[in-house]
Amino acid sequence: MVNVSSYLPPISWFAQLNLGEPILLEQYEHFHKQTIRNRCTIDSPNGPLHLTVPIDKSNFSAGAKCLMRDVRISYRTDWQHQHWNAIQSSYFNSPFFEYLQDDFRPLFQRRWTYLMDMNEAFIDLCCQLIDIHPQIQRTTDFIGTSPIQPSSALPPYYQVFAHKHGFLSDLSIIDLIFNLAGESLIYLNKL
């Protein structure tokens, strides 16, 4: 199966990862703006919150397209601090944030050059915490990706702000991890 590199991917992305098939991350596709490649959605006190990793536009000079493997992260804003603060304020009261925050914090403190490298580090950490062991490699040539449709019909699980705005389906995998921790795999196995 060929998939896109994703920043803190949605639960449906991990459901496919959990099928046990080897996964190839497409590194030869052109970067697409406003997608899960550099954006995730978390639960927040005000409803769904999109967190976007800024991209260094110098890769896209004169409207040229950039291969996913060459996409560099921009540090013109302190986006890592902003993302970490948003995650802390959203998940501070979740059942497992206190125990797992020290696993995530170092990845937000590191200065990454390439988006794909950062995405893979987050994916690896989430796999460890969920206790899945997929075979993930990058493509060696352009293959194209298998479409993943976000699912608006995932079964509900505990979410911190469900009492305010109902259950939000297919958020970033961190929503599942901070709310269910070790039971995340049980949830994914039911999908």
What was the pLDDT predicted at 149?
A: 61
**What percentage of the chain carries pLDDT values higher than 70?**
95
Query: Following DSSP, what letter does each residue of 102-144 receive, concatenated?
Result: HHHHHHHHS--SBHHHHHHHHHHHHHHHHT----EEE-SS---
| CB 154 within 8 Å of CB 191 | yes
What was the pLDDT predicted at 151?
A: 63
Q: By residue range, what is the domain housing residue 86? A: 2-189
Buried b (16+ CB within 10 A) or exposed e, 84-95: beebeebbeebe
Helix (H) or strand (E) holding 33: none
Which amino acid is located at 124 in the chain? D
The pLDDT tens digits for 94-115 are 999 999 999 999 999 999 999 9
d(CA 136, CA 157): 27
More confident residue, 153 or 184: 184
Q: How many domains does the chain have?
A: 1
The pLDDT tens digits for 134-161 are 999 999 999 987 666 656 689 999 999 9
Nearest to 124 by CA among 2, 20, 6, 38: 6
Q: How far apart are the first and last CA of the chain?
A: 17
